[in-house]
Every structure is written in C-alpha cells, then in structure tokens.
C-alpha cells in the first residue's frame, strides 16, 4: 500500500559513528536524541526546536494517512466506550472496621477512592459511603495525570498517594488526614510509585529516584518534616538493580526488594518498630531469584535456588536465611512453574502454571492437606485479588477468558464455597457464544511447541482468507495472559481473528521458556513468532498479507525484527513504543534502564560477543531496502523506558533505505510516557487509532460488523 499523501521533509542524516569493539556503526539519526533528555522528560517544553518540529511533522503525516479512517475511528471509539459501565466500581475489600474500594463517576476519566464502614453483619455499609480522594478534581489542568498508588494508614486515619503529572514516572507524594480533610504536600518530588506505612501511622517508607530515573534509595519520611531530612534506610550502589517496596501478608514486615532480571535480594523492616533498620533476609547470588512472605513467625521464600528451575518454596524462622538450614515446604516440580504466593493465618496459597495454564493450590497449615481450585476453560487468565486481612478464610481471585468477561470470586478456603462477587458487564451487550476460544501449538525450528491462544468468530471459515491480528511480546519472563479484552471485540466483530503467540521469552511453559528467549538465545523469540504466523497459514486460518502483527515495548522490538526477517508475511505492523534501537541503547549506560537490562539482552558496551549478537538482530541496525509492509509506530515524549528517539530513528531509516515500501508512520504523544495518554477514555483514542490502521491495511474498514 503506497501512500499518495505528501511525506514529511526527509529527516536530516547526520554523521555520527559509534566505535564498538573495533567495528564502526553508523547512527545517522542520532541527532534525534537530545543531550538534555533528562530535563525533557521532566519538562517537555524544553525539547529542542529541531526535534520538536520533526516529531510534529511526523504526527501530521500519520494523521493525514489515517484521515480516511476518522469515521471508522469514531465508530471504534464509540463501541469501546459502550462496553464500559459509566459509573463502574470495584468490589470493596475489607480491612477490619472498613471496606476500601474505588469507583468511577459517569463520564469521568479517573477513579474516586472510597470506603464503607463494616456493618454488624460483617458486610460493607454501602449507603454510608465516605469519599477519600477524588482524583478527577486533582487532574484538572493537567494534560497527563496518574495516581501511582494510594494506601491507607494502619490506624485508618490517613491516606497517602503518589501522583505523576508528566508521564515520566517521577512521582510526588501527598498525605490527607481523613478526620480533618487537610491535605499535606510532603515536598517529595522524585519518588517511585511505591509507598509503605510504618505501623504507628506517623511515617512512610518511599523510594527516591536519581537524575537517571533510577530507584536508588529507600527513605523514611516522618509526617510534618521536610523531605530533605529524611533518613536513608537503604542505598543501592549497583545501577543494575531496581528497588521495590511491599509488605508481608501479616503486616509485620516491610520488604525492600532488590532485583535485576535474574537476581534478587530482600531486606526486612519491622513496621511496628519506629527505630527499625533493614535486616538482610535473602542476600544476592547471581542467577538466584526470591520472593518472600511471612506468617506465624515463619518466612516463606519462593526461589529457584538449588537448581529449582521452576521454583520451590522454603521456610525459615531466622534472618538471614540459609538454604542449608531452611526447611523445604513446596518441592520443585519440573514443568510446574510457581508464580506467586499469599500467606494467611491458617492457609498458604500458591499460583502455579503447567502447560501454559494457571491454577490455584490451597495448603492448610493445620494438617498439611492441599486442594486446587478447578477451572474448565480451554484457555483462561487467573490472578489473586490480594486483600488486607491475614486472619481470614476468604481468598479473592479473578478469572477471565478471551471470550468471557472478568469474574471476581471470593472463595472460602475452609468450606470451599465459591461466591461470585462481580462479573464484568458490557452495557452495549455481549454474547460469548458468538466467539470461539482455541489453544493451538505451532512447531518451532528446533521442535519446541509454541502455544497460541486464538479468539475467532464462531462462523469463521478455514479457507485461508481470514484477516488476523497476531500479538506478541516475549521478554522479561512476562507471560501474555489468555484474558478478556473488550477492546478486541471491535476487531473480531469485523471478522478479524485475534491470536496471541506465546513465544519464548515469557514463562508460559515454565522458567526454561523464558531462559530460551533471552541473551544468547534471544533469536528464538523472533523465529517463534514467525513460526506461529506460518502455522496459522498452514492451518488455513489466515494467509500471507492477511495478517497484521502487533506488539509494544519489548514486543515492539519483536515487531522490528520480524519486519526485517519476513516482511512478506504481513499486511501491516503496529509497533507501540518499540524498543528498536537495542544496540545503541544497551551501549549507553547513562540511560535509566541500560545497566538493569544487561542480564536480559546482554552488555554490548563491555562484551564483544554481546555486541556482535545484538547487532545481528537490532531492528534499526538491520533495516534494508526491501518490501516492508505499512508500519505504524508510536512513542511518548516523557517515556523513560523506551525513549522517543528510538521509534523516530527507526521510521526515518526505514523511509530512507526502503523508499518504495511502507508507508511508515510515527505518532508521538507530546505529553505522555510509556503507557500513553492517561484516563480510562483518553487511552481508548489511541487504541481506536491503532485498530483503524490495522483494519485499513487489511481493507476491513466497514463501519458495522
């Protein structure tokens, strides 16, 4: 599809050359990376004029190309909005005398945080609702607005929350006294979205970000004091490690969690001791991961130590933990990946996955008996619902399938009673019987079987003519859930089959599935995706040039690589905030995520083999003059994860080296970050835009299914 619309003025080609281990790599569009990027993500108005003009010209070109889909975009947007309950609310969650929840007011972009007193029957007193925070009021005047987290104090007298108004993930911290209604600006300006109350409700633990947007210190803020005097409880010296905060299920310990993509370290803080300092529970050993919980005086640690590739759980009463003296609790079972755990007074709950399907197993601490919560669907997504209470028999979980909306259940671990608390309702109507969910397996080059989740119209014909959208990610061990998405229905209702390629790099088939899709074996992710596309063609579900590929972030890298390897397979490619300048980014240690990402991709800055390997697949490095399909890339100006210049450089190089291919589109959000526009409706505009592009290149632009 060749566009007749006038393209932007060709991007200036500079003369930047990078010397990497004796090899020269040209970077002609390196000027799109502003040296002042750290200032830009905090204040987008400081973006250099030449870069701003280039991005704005690209935005105008993308808009012009999609101009004939404006009516379609509005129809898609209307459909998506019609599937959202205007005054949607969450299921309240009990914490002793109160039930906490959130809701949306009709037409509002942001949630209102609320609570209800616990009634004499143990249920929330719904008529007497107390509004804790209306984030819509706070969002006024901001192009971007996001509440990172909101946590209530242990005494239920205060709330604290984090706010990002740029999309850069630098959060500010505020506290409100619920009895007086007085809000205090703590003065904290460079935080992550993690907050944790100390047990006395007078102090908060928070994480400070440095100028490179890296979480570096855990600090303790005493209410009513200046943040520049906050004592530092922990400093992470290694730029390759992230810091996170959580607390154990019994609320006794705060957990300072230090991780890269293969190694963990955990420190504990006694939350009820105002003078407590961190104590190391689990020290770091390269390649060993750990996740901790606590109850009944015992730490339970989920870990891959001692060659437990798919993880085991060990227990200990002592800190630091010593594997030699720890007691086995849940033994390692190859092929059964332990995903997470939650401790209760009388029960221990674990989520595990076998053959790409998750399940919940309940362990009774009193007699050691176990049982599983059963599900009948061929493919589904499952997750624990969390909760505040430790001494309870009730567990909350949510389940959905690609065709059936999300259902929230409460499950009595003692009686095995299952109560449906909420089912996602689509106001415009939804009939799951109009769709079929299937699980297929495609053979990879090396004989591995790659799972595919398929959502299709019930009347689909297997004649090789079906348009199809193939989604993929394949990185960081993140598995793509077979969950329900109301937005996808707009495609499927127009006859487009939706498929997820569960390629290596995720953990759908265990930890080994992840390990076989990173570093030295990263090419497996890309060839797996191509194998899935070829399998769908062989099954006559679709055909070459009848498929659109889609992926975001690391999945956007996947899109860049497969466009270089097999462009003839696809009618179009949607690459959302794509990580496509891998070689340059992973060689730039000043960028926020570079040192932490070396265990995932390799270190081309210091290792010649890593450099050569990454250069062999890096999307920008391998652009050539070939028949690329239309490509639609997106970016966020304040994105600190995938910086704006990566997709901008990629599109410029594609247009220069393959002038007769494409067209190639770039749309940059000038006031948003990695997640795009904020708000439940505003984000749908970009979803509709991407779907309209897919439908246009598939020539499925009819307005009504």
SS3 40: helix
DSSP E strands, 141-214: 146-152, 158-164, 172-177, 183-185, 191-197, 203-209
**At 362, which helix (H) or strand (E)?**
strand 357-364
Q: Which pLDDT tens digit goes with each residue over 2-40?
A: 555 778 888 999 999 999 999 999 999 999 999 999 999
The pLDDT score that the predictor gives to residue 675 is 76
Catalytic residue (one of 260, 291, 603, 639): 639
At 4 the pLDDT is: 59
Residue 593 — pLDDT band, cuts 50, 70, 90? confident
Q: Which residues of 609-646 are buried (b: 16+ CB within 10 A; e: fewer)?
A: ebbebbbebbbbbebeeeebbbbbbbbbbbbbbbbbbb
- Pick the catalytic residue from 553, 563, 587, 678: 553
DSSP 76: H
Q: Closest Cα to residue 451, out of 500, 498, 488?
A: 500
Q: Residue 667 sits in which domain range?
A: 17-82+429-539+546-697
86 Cβ contact list (under 8 Å, min separation 6): 104, 106, 107, 427
pLDDT at 3: 53
pLDDT averaged over every residue in the chain: 95
Residue 534's closest CA among 460, 445, 446, 457?
A: 445
pLDDT at 701: 57
CB atoms within 10 A of CB 650: 27
Query: Is residue 423 assigned to a domain?
Result: no
Q: What is the DSSP string of 492-544?
A: HTTT-EEEEE--BTB-TT-HHHHHTTSGGGTHHHHHHHHHHHHHHHHTTS--T
**Contact predicate 214/197, CB 8 Å:** no
Determine which of 192-206, 347-361, 408-422, 654-668 has the lowest per-residue pLDDT on average: 347-361
Residue of 470, 483, 481 whose CA lies nearest to 539: 470
CA 209, 215, 216, 217 torsion: positive or negative?
positive
Does 564 have pLDDT greater than 80? yes
The angle subtended at Cα 357 by Cα 353 and Cα 362, nearest 5°, is 55
Q: Which residue of the set 190, 294, 674, 678 is catalytic?
A: 674
If you average pLDDT over residues 474-487, what whole number do you get? Answer: 95
**Domain count of the chain?**
1
Residue 663 in any domain: the answer is yes
553 is catalytic: yes
**Sheet of 336-343, strands arranged across:** 336-343, 347-354, 357-364, 370-373
d(CA 147, CA 138): 10
Whichever domain contains 576, its CATH number is 3.40.50.1820
pLDDT exceeds cutoff 80 at 704? no
Residues near 266 by Cβ (< 8 Å), separated by ≥ 6?
255, 256, 257, 258, 280, 281, 282, 290, 292, 301
Residue 203 maps to a domain: no
Share of the chain above pLDDT 90, in %: 90
**Inter-axis angle of helices 49-65 and 645-657, nearest 10:** 60
Using alpha carbons, select from 281, 288, 283 the residue that is nearest to residue 261.
288
Does the residue 468 lie in any domain? yes
Task: Report pLDDT digits (tens) over 242-284.
Answer: 999 999 999 999 999 999 989 999 999 999 999 999 999 999 9
Residue 48 counted as domain residue: yes
Distance CA 209, CA 218 (A): 10
Strands lying side by side in the sheet with 264-270: 242-247, 253-259, 264-270, 279-282
Average pLDDT over residues 314-327: 90
Task: Decide if 606 is inside a domain.
Answer: yes
Q: pLDDT higher for 41 or 450?
A: 450
Say whether 639 is catalytic: yes
Instruction: Look up residue 352 and give its DSSP letter.
Output: E
Q: Does a structural domain hold residue 493? A: yes
Closest C-alpha among 290, 218, 261 to residue 596 = 261
Strand 547-552 relative to strand 357-364: parallel, antiparallel, unpaired? unpaired
| Residue 249, in any domain of the structure | no
Place of tokens 């009347």: 459
Checking if the pLDDT of 135 tops 80, the result is yes
**Cβ contact 331:321 at 8 Å:** no
Task: List pLDDT tens digits, range 186-224.
Answer: 999 999 999 999 999 999 999 999 988 899 999 999 999
pLDDT in the model for residue 319: 86
The reported pLDDT for the residue numbered 583 is: 98
pTM to 2 decimals? 0.93
Q: Tens digit of pLDDT for each residue in 139-168?
A: 999 999 999 999 999 999 999 999 999 999
Main-chain phi, psi angles of 402, to 5 degrees: -60, -25
C-alpha 674/C-alpha 684 separation (Å) is 15
**How many Å apart are CA 257 and CA 267, to the nearest integer?**
7
pLDDT at 375: 86
């Amino acid at each position: 599809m060749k566009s007749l619309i006038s393209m932007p003025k060709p991007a200036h080609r500079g003369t930047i050359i990078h010397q990497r281990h004796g090899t020269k790599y040209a970077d002609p569009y390196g000027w799109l990376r502003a040296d002042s990027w750290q200032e830009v993500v905090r204040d987008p108005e400081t973006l250099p004029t030449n870069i701003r003009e280039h991005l704005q010209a690209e935005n105008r070109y993308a808009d012009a190309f999609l101009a004939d889909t404006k009516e379609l975009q509005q129809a898609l947007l209307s459909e998506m909005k019609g599937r959202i309950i205007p005054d949607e609310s969450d299921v309240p969650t009990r914490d002793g005398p109160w039930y906490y929840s959130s809701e949306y007011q009709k037409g509002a972009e942001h949630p209102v945080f609320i609570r209800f007193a616990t009634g004499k029957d143990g249920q929330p007193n719904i008529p007497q609702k107390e509004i804790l925070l209306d984030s819509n009021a706070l969002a006024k005047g901001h192009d971007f607005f996001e509440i990172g987290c909101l946590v209530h104090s242990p005494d239920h007298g205060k709330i604290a929350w984090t706010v990002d108004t740029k999309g850069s993930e630098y959060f500010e911290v505020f506290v409100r006294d619920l009895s007086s209604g007085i809000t205090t600006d703590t003065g904290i300006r460079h935080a992550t979205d993690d907050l944790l109350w100390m047990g006395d409700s007078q102090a908060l633990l928070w994480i400070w970000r440095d100028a490179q947007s890296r979480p570096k210190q855990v600090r303790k803020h005493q209410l009513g004091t200046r943040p520049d005097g906050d004592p530092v409880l922990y400093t992470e010296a290694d730029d390759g490690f992230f810091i996170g905060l959580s607390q154990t299920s019994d609320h006794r310990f705060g957990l300072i969690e230090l991780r890269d993509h293969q190694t963990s370290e955990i420190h504990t803080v006694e939350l009820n001791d105002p003078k407590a300092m961190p104590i190391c529970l689990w020290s770091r050993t390269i390649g060993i991961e750990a996740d901790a919980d606590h109850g009944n005086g015992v730490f339970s640690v989920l870990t891959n130590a001692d060659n437990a590739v798919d993880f085991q759980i060990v227990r200990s009463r002592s800190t630091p933990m010593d594997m030699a003296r720890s007691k086995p609790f849940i033994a390692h079972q190859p092929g059964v990946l332990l995903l997470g755990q939650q401790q209760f007074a009388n029960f221990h709950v674990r989520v595990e996955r076998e053959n790409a399907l998750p399940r919940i197993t309940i362990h009774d601490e009193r007699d050691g008996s176990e049982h599983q919560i059963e599900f009948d669907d061929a493919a589904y997504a499952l997750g624990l619902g969390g909760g505040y209470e430790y001494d309870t028999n009730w567990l909350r979980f949510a389940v959905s399938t690609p065709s059936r909306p999300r259902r929230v259940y409460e499950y009595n671990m003692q009686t095995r009673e299952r109560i449906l608390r909420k089912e996602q309702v689509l106001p415009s109507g939804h009939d799951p019987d109009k769709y079929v969910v299937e699980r297929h397996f495609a053979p990879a080059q090396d004989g591995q079987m790659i799972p595919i989740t398929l959502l299709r119209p019930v009347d689909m014909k297997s004649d090789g003519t079906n348009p199809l959208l193939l989604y993929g990610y394949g990185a960081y061990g993140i598995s793509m859930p077979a969950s329900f998405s109301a937005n996808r229905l707009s495609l499927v209702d127009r006859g487009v089959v939706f498929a997820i390629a569960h390629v290596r790099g995720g953990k759908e088939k265990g930890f080994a599935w992840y390990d076989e899709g990173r570093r030295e074996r990263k090419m497996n992710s890309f060839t797996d995706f191509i194998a899935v596309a070829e399998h769908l063609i062989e099954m006559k579900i679709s055909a070459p040039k009848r498929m659109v590929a889609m992926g975001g972030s690391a999945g956007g890298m996947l899109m860049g690589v497969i466009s270089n390897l097999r462009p003839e397979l696809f009618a179009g490619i949607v690459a959302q905030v794509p990580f496509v300048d891998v070689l340059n980014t992973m060689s730039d240690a000043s960028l926020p995520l570079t040192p932490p990402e070396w265990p995932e991709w390799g270190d081309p800055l210091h290792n010649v083999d890593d450099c050569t390997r990454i250069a062999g697949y890096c999307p920008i490095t391998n652009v050539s003059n070939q028949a690329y399909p239309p490509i639609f890339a997106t970016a966020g100006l304040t994105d600190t994860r995938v910086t704006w210049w990566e997709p901008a450089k990629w599109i410029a190089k594609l247009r220069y080296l393959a002038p007769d291919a494409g067209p190639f589109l770039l749309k940059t959000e000038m006031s948003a970050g990695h997640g795009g526009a904020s708000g439940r409706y505003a984000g749908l505009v970009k979803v509709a835009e991407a779907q309209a592009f897919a439908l246009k290149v598939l020539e499925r632009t009819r307005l009504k299914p």
